[in-house]
């Protein structure tokens, strides 16, 4: 698990490499219908945004992944019904599989 | 009523760009409500969501004062996702990618933008096609920037990582 400070350092390196002054392709803003390269303040903000985004993905990405992997509520209710009828563990197995496939960061 | 929707600015991204700002010098503060549409917005990088910030004096407000809540109804197995969040540094929309056909389309209404004493709100309706997951996602929700003291004069769009590859962004004022 990376700290926010470590991710900020990585973001700084990545954003610095993008600057045209450093031989990169640049980051551009389209304002008042004119396309121009980021100002230094905008590059600084891009570093903060990237670090925060990477940190959020690291800490919370599993939540969205789980939301997308769970079966629909009607399907889960159907699983529970058949688990009761057949003495199976379809529903618990499904939930456990989703959690295992998308683990919460330690 | 005919002629009630006044187009103030339209930006078409033809060369990939990290951010697009509507407003600034094209902002007309004579309206109470503004409508923004973006269409066929495609990210360069896969798995991105449109992020939005209000601008003040042409500069995006980057403070952690954005609260939002919205629900996505989708053809993924789960059927829906919910995204409530407070104290964020941006508003956000549906996550989608850059596979063939994937794009985001939305209509936003902006309220209290010119007020210095009231919070600025927005409502959002967005749909996105997510080819990789064979999903159509419809999103509805809204948010608020919980700061006062400075009037807002635009809205900035970006993705969390990578550029906006293409898309059209349009700002309208709703005539009183």
Chain A, nearest residue to B10 by Cα: A33
Q: Which of A49, A67, A71 sits opposite B81 (nearest CB)?
A: A67
How far does A25 lie from chain B, in Å, by closest CA?
11
Q: Give the closest of A50, A67, A72 to B161, CB-based.
A: A50
Dihedrals phi, psi of A69, to nearest 5 degrees? -90, -25
**Closest Cβ–Cβ partner in A38, A53, A64 for B160:** A53
Strands A28-31 and B19-23, sheet pairing: parallel
Is the CB of A33 inside 8 Å of chain B's CB atoms? yes
Q: How far apart are the first and last CA of chain B?
A: 10
Full-model pTM: 0.90
Per-residue confidence in pLDDT tens, chain B, 176 aa: 667 899 999 999 989 999 999 998 999 999 999 999 999 999 999 889 999 999 999 999 999 999 999 998 887 767 778 889 999 999 998 888 888 889 999 999 999 999 999 999 999 999 998 876 678 889 999 999 999 999 999 999 999 988 999 999 999 999 87
Which tokens belong to A55?
């940190």
3-class DSSP assignment, residue B142: strand
Q: Which residues contact A93 (CB under 8 A, 6 or more apart)?
A: none
**Residue located via tokens 């079966």:** A71
CB contact (8 A) between residue B11 and residue A30: yes
Q: Are the beta carbons of B26 and A71 separated by less than 8 Å?
A: no
pLDDT in tens, A4-25: 999 999 999 999 999 999 999 9
CA distance A18 to A25: 6
């Amino acid at each position: 698990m990376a700290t926010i400070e470590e991710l900020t350092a990585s973001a700084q390196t990545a954003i610095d490499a993008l600057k045209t002054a450093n031989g990169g392709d640049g980051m551009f803003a389209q304002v008042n219908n004119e396309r121009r390269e980021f100002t230094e303040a905008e590059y600084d903000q891009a570093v903060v945004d990237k670090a925060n985004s990477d940190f959020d993905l690291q800490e919370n990405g599993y939540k969205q992944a789980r939301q997308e992997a769970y079966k629909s509520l009607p399907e889960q209710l159907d699983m529970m019904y058949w688990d009761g009828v057949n003495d199976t563990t379809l529903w618990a197995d499904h939930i456990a599989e989703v959690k295992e496939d998308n683990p919460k960061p330690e | 009523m005919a002629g009630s929707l006044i187009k103030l600015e339209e930006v078409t991204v033809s060369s990939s760009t990290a951010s697009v700002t509507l407003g600034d010098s094209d902002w007309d503060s004579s309206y109470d409500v503004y409508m923004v549409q973006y269409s066929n917005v495609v990210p360069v990088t896969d798995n991105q969501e449109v992020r939005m910030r209000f601008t003040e004096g042409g500069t995006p407000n980057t403070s952690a004062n954005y609260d939002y809540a919205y629900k996505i109804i989708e053809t993924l197995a789960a059927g829906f996702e919910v995204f409530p969040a407070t104290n964020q540094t941006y508003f956000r929309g549906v996550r989608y990618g850059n596979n063939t056909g994937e794009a985001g389309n939305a209509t936003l209404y902006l309220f209290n933008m010119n007020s210095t004493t009231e919070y600025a709100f927005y409502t959002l309706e967005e749909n996105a096609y997510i080819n990789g997951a064979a999903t159509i996602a419809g999103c509805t929700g809204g948010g608020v920037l919980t700061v006062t003291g400075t009037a807002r004069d635009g809205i900035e769009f970006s993705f969390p990582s990578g550029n906006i590859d293409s898309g059209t962004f349009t700002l309208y004022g709703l005539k009183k």
